[in-house]
Amino acid sequence: NVGGNCGNLRGGKQDMYEGGIRVPACAVWPGVIKPATTDFTAITMDIFPTAMAAAGAKSTEGLDGQSFLPLLKTGMQVAKERDLFFTRREGNL
């Protein structure tokens, strides 16, 4: 058995259950990000707005993702609530 272990979550890689969707992440930025644990839900399209905010970009308007930099810096969840949808497509378009 090669790969990750989703523990007691149902499903695995490529499944639409939590075991196939949830992925742990970590961030290290000495002097900026305080060590902490959170259950904040983010998706990959949130990474770019977060990186832009960390680089000092003035606006991330027009991007689908939202920055979670305030969460990383303060530990407080400040991102707005939203619904997340997942889909799996196989084969041709």
**Per-residue pLDDT reduced to its tens digit, 7-17:** 888 887 777 78
Q: What Cα–Cα distance (Å) separates residue 81 from each residue in 7, 9, 38, 75? A: 27, 23, 15, 16
> Is there a domain that residue 27 lies in?
yes
38 inside domain? yes
Is 92 part of any domain?
A: no
- Tell me the longest C-alpha to C-alpha distance in the chain: 47
- The string of pLDDT tens digits covering residues 62-76 is 888 888 888 888 877
Domain contains 89: no
pLDDT of amino acid 8: 85
In this model, does residue 78 exceed pLDDT 90? no
Domain boundaries, position 22: 18-74
Q: Would 46 be classed as within a structural domain?
A: yes
pTM of this structure: 0.70
